[in-house]
Each structure stands twice: as C-alpha cells, then as structure tokens.
Amino acid sequence: MSRSTQPADDYNDDLDDIDEFDENGMPGGPLTIKWTSERTDRLLDWLEQNVQKRHLLFSNSQEDANKESRKKGQAKLSKVTIHGEIAQFVFSGDRDPVIRSTLKANPGRFAKAVDNHIASLKKKYRQSCTTLGHTGAGLTFDQLEGNPDYKGPIGVITTKFKIFNRLHGFWQKIPNYNPFTTSSDPDQDHEAQAFDMLFPNKRSRS
C-alpha cells in the first residue's frame, strides 16, 4: 500500500499529476507525490520570483549553447540544479512530515518530480494555445480577456485550466512552449543573459 501526501483542493482533475517512487523498499511502501494546487502555486511563485533562472530553465539550451560556443551539458546540469532549488522551495515547508523527511533523504527524486510536473504543465499549456490559434496565442492574457473575439475560448480554457494565465506570462513568446509564436524575443537572448548573470565565470572558461 502506497503512502500518499495530504491532498489539498485541486484546480481541476487535469492538474492532478502524481509521481510515485519506491526508494530501496522504503518502509510503508512507495511514496506518492501528488501535485495539489497548493504545491503547484508554490512552483509558479518560485518561477515568478526568479526571472533569470526561469529564462535559463525554459529556453532552448542546444540553440543557445551553439551561440555561446559552449557544451549543452552545462545548461542541462544547471537545469537539474534549478529543479532541485524549486523542489526545496515547494516541499521543504510541506504540511506532510513524510514529504519533508523524504526530501532531505532523497532530494533528487523531488527534483525529478518537478521536472515531470513542468513537462505536464507544458503539454496542457500547448493544448490551450491550440484552442486559441495563431492570432490568439500571440496576445497577452490581458489582451485576450479584453478582446470579445477571445472571451469565449479563454473562458473555456481557464475554466478547465485555471493557471493558464500564469503560464502564459512565462511561455507566451517561447516557441518550444507556445507553438504559435516564432521567436522568444528577437532582440534578446534570454538564456545567454541568464547564464552570464548566474554563472559569470563559466563562459570565459568554456
């Protein structure tokens, strides 16, 4: 029988992502990490508060690595580290003592859970952008809400996926996340800027 984290009210059934792992036959059975609305909100709070790291996490690492003449592995390693930071932010103060103690013993498992949940959110976000189409997906959330042509579609999306507005703020201009945009920002290389700010000595040694 698996152990389950204490649930909170979820946004909707579509957001009820679960990660389950069994670390060397832990007493009590495998641990289930349920992504409740409370935990997802904390993940999104971290992303809003850490803009440079967010750019590094969500940009195209291979493309930008080529621009900087550095190995993709540096950016990939950084993303693993960032997932770990997010996991600490989300789960270190969790209401479930089993989660808190397991986080200390197995932080890498929680970093992977963060990675998996972001991938799930990305999939749902891309599906929502498809509902809006080429023109709508290029608008800000405020523009969508203020445009009578999109009040219907955006209402349908936010009824099923209430955090769309927050994700749209992160991903609206990133082609890998929004299939209907063509450039994350033609005048800015976000990952290169973020990498330089976070790791100022790395570039000179690559």
User: What pLDDT shows up at residue 120?
Assistant: 96
**Number of domains making up the chain:** 1
Give the span between the Cα atoms of 70 and 204, in whole angstroms.
10
Structural domain containing residue 32: 3-205
User: What pLDDT shows up at residue 60?
Assistant: 56
Edge to edge, the sheet with strand 18-21 lists: 3-4, 31-34, 18-21
CA distances from 180 to 84, 119, 130, 164, 172 (A): 30, 18, 8, 16, 9
DSSP states along 165-178: HHHHHHHTT-TTT-
User: What pLDDT shows up at residue 173?
Assistant: 86
**Side chain identity at 145, as an amino acid letter?**
E
Give the span between the Cα atoms of 127 and 51, in whole angstroms.
24
Give the span between the Cα atoms of 86 and 39, in whole angstroms.
11
User: What pLDDT shows up at residue 138?
Assistant: 75
Q: What is the mean pLDDT of each run of 10 residues along the chain (206 residues)?
A: 38 52 49 91 97 85 50 67 97 95 94 96 93 79 84 86 94 88 50 46 51
For the whole model, what pTM was predicted?
A: 0.71
User: What pLDDT shows up at residue 40?
Assistant: 97
User: What pLDDT shows up at residue 144?
Assistant: 85
User: What pLDDT shows up at residue 97?
Assistant: 94
